[in-house]
Amino acid sequence: MSTRRHHLALLAAAALAAGGAMAQSDTVKIGVILPMTGPSASTGRQIDAAIKLWLAQNGVRAGGRKVEVLVKDDAGVADTTRRLAQELVVNDKVVALAGFGLTPLALATAPIATQSKTPMLVMAAATSSITEASPYIVRSSFTLPQAAVSIAEWAAKNKVKKVVTLVTDYGPGNDAEKFFVSQFQLNGGNVLDKLRTPLRGADFAPVLQKVRDLAPDALFVFLPSGQGAQFMKQFGERGLDKAGIRLIATGDVTDDDQLNDMGDVALGVVTSHHYSAAHPSAMNRKFVADFQAAAKFRPNFMAVGGWDGMRVIFKALDTTKGAGGDALLAAMKGQLFESPRGQVLIDAQTRDIVQDIYIRKVERKDGQLYNVEFDVQKSVKDPGKLK
């Protein structure tokens, strides 16, 4: 048998095991794949800490079974993600896969979820189309169209007439650019140029010089979590703030993981996103306090995607009494619950998350920088799926 056919046979066998009479072992396993090293390591560190917090708070049992969480490091390399997913399904017989720090890592794993009928909880990656790559994908993070549409509307209503966009050149950046531009133009705005930087080794100096020369009212930016601090530094060094060019962005740029170290240049930056560590609810205050006590750093939106993702898997395991496959998937669909970010729903049709999107401004409070929410759009479905 060819290697590929051999893999398919193994995955099909895993699917049978998941759907049929499971060996009544007392333990069920969840396979989490995260970038714990490499350029996206902050995403892995945040989600790993959130998973540990969830287990510490809620215990390691679900559906009458002991739950074992296996965390694997893919270093942000898609071939590694795929190999690890295969091993987790075939050798470890996990009932669910989870994690996925970047879009290409989620897309590389989708066929494995489909072939083995293993529910795959995307806790981080945020390109709209990911949930369409497999009927076994469920998402607890967000989508870029959710974030980008709201900030485009805010900008058009707040004296921003001419904009340049700057995004990272891959899935979520394409989504951010497309949905920002179409909403902004619909509201009468003028887009002077659309700039892109590569995912790896981005140097913002040349594009920032170009933005300076174009002199828009505002620069709209999407960069994946982890790149915001470097960008913000160069934005300040190039004097764009002093030149009167407003910075608007999705919340990935003023990421709570790095925000506190960004300094004064970040003050006043307006962004849209689904989570801020400053979200003023009792549940979030407790989440942030517990997280900081355990992890010694501030949770960001990735942490919330991980913590909520654990909730979705555990509640589903409660329903299925530990069984996996289609039953577990069905039990994930339609979950409605309060998250540290606000009320959320796992849409049963799309398997994507429906959530509030907040408009926030960076402010200093008690000596620390926060994304302070001042407006909200309630129950936003992914605009990428309304077409």
Q: Which is nearer to ligand PHB, 102 or 312 (CB)?
A: 102
| Size (the chain), residues | 387
Q: Does 34 bind ligand PHB (CB under 6 A)?
A: no
Residues 45-84 that bind ligand PHB (CB under 6 A): none
CB-based burial label for 97 (10 Å; 0-12, 13-18, 19+): buried
Using CB under 6 A as the criterion, what x/- string covers residues 216-235 for binding ligand PHB? Answer: --------xx----------
Residues 265-304 that bind ligand PHB (CB under 6 A): none
Closest contact distance (angstroms) between CB of 109 and ligand PHB is 13
Note whether 340 and 307 are within 8 A (CB): yes
Binding-site size for ligand PHB (CB under 6 A) equals: 10
The DSSP result for 295-334, as a single string, is HSS---HHHHHHHHHHHHHHHHHHHHTT--HHHHHHHHTT
Q: Does 344 bind ligand PHB (CB under 6 A)?
A: no
Q: Which is nearer to ligand PHB, 89 or 130 (CB)?
A: 130
Beta strands in 23-177 (DSSP E): 27-34, 61-62, 65-73, 96-99, 120-122, 137-139, 162-168
Note whether 116 and 12 are within 8 A (CB): yes
Closest contact distance (angstroms) between CB of 151 and ligand PHB is 14
Q: Which is nearer to ligand PHB, 211 or 253 (CB)?
A: 253
Q: Which is nearer to ligand PHB, 103 or 320 (CB)?
A: 103
**Rounded-to-integer distance, Cα 171 and Cα 312, Å:** 25
Residue number closest to ligand PHB, CB atom: 224
Of the candidates 112, 180, 196, 185, the one whose C-alpha atom is nearest the C-alpha of residue 145 is 180
Using CB under 6 A as the criterion, what x/- string covers residues 79-118 for binding ligand PHB? Answer: -----------------------xx---------------
Q: Which is nearer to ligand PHB, 96 or 125 (CB)?
A: 125
* Stretch of 122-130, 285-293, 306-314, 328-336 contacting ligand PHB, by CB under 6 A: 122-130
Closest contact distance (angstroms) between CB of 129 and ligand PHB is 11
Q: Which is nearer to ligand PHB, 126 or 152 (CB)?
A: 126
Handedness of CA 96, 171, 284, 352 (dihedral sign): negative
Strand-pair category, 27-34 with 96-99: parallel
Tokens at residue 91, please? Answer: 């050798």
DSSP state of 124: S
Closest contact distance (angstroms) between CB of 103 and ligand PHB is 4
Q: Does 126 bind ligand PHB (CB under 6 A)?
A: yes
Q: Does 165 bind ligand PHB (CB under 6 A)?
A: no
Contact set with ligand PHB (CB under 6 A): 102-103, 125-127, 171-172, 224-225, 252
